[in-house]
Amino acid sequence: ANFSEQVVESFPSDISTGIYYGWACVGNGDVHKMVLSIGWNPFYKNIKKSVETHIIHTFKEDFYGEILSIVIIGYIRPEKNFDSLEALISAIQEDIEEAKRQLDLPENLKLKEDNFFHLPEGKIVNNQ
C-alpha cells in the first residue's frame, strides 16, 4: 500500500530513509503487522521519495480509497541498493521476519490495541 505524494510530503523532512516496522489498519478493520519503506528505492531508480507499506496479511480484495492508518514502532535498516531483484526480495523477506520478531515483543504488541486505530464512524480525517 503506497501513500500518495501529498502524504509523503507531509512526513517529517528529517525522518531517515530506510526500513521500519509497526502496525497498520485499513479503514476500521483489524490491525496487522507491517513493514514500511521510506526513501528513493534505489534499485528502481525512483526520482521521488516514496512511503510504501507492506501489510503482513493477505486481504481478500483490494482496498484502494480506504484510509490506511499506521504506527511506526521501530527501525530495521537503512535504505540500500541491490545487485539483483533476487537480493532485493531476500532482503524484504528478512525485513518481514525481523518485523514479526520485534512486533511480538510485549512492549510492541500492546500498541496494536491503541485507540488510534479505532476511528469513530463517519469521522473525517485529513479532509477525507
Indicate which residue of 52, 97, 98, 121 is catalytic.
52
Question: CA dist 23 to 40, 43, 54, Å?
Answer: 22, 26, 10
* DSSP states along 57-92: S--SS--TTS-EEEEEEEEEE-----SSHHHHHHHH
- Per the DSSP assignment, residues forming a β-bridge with 24 are 32, 70
52 is catalytic: yes
Q: What positions carry a catalytic annotation?
A: 52
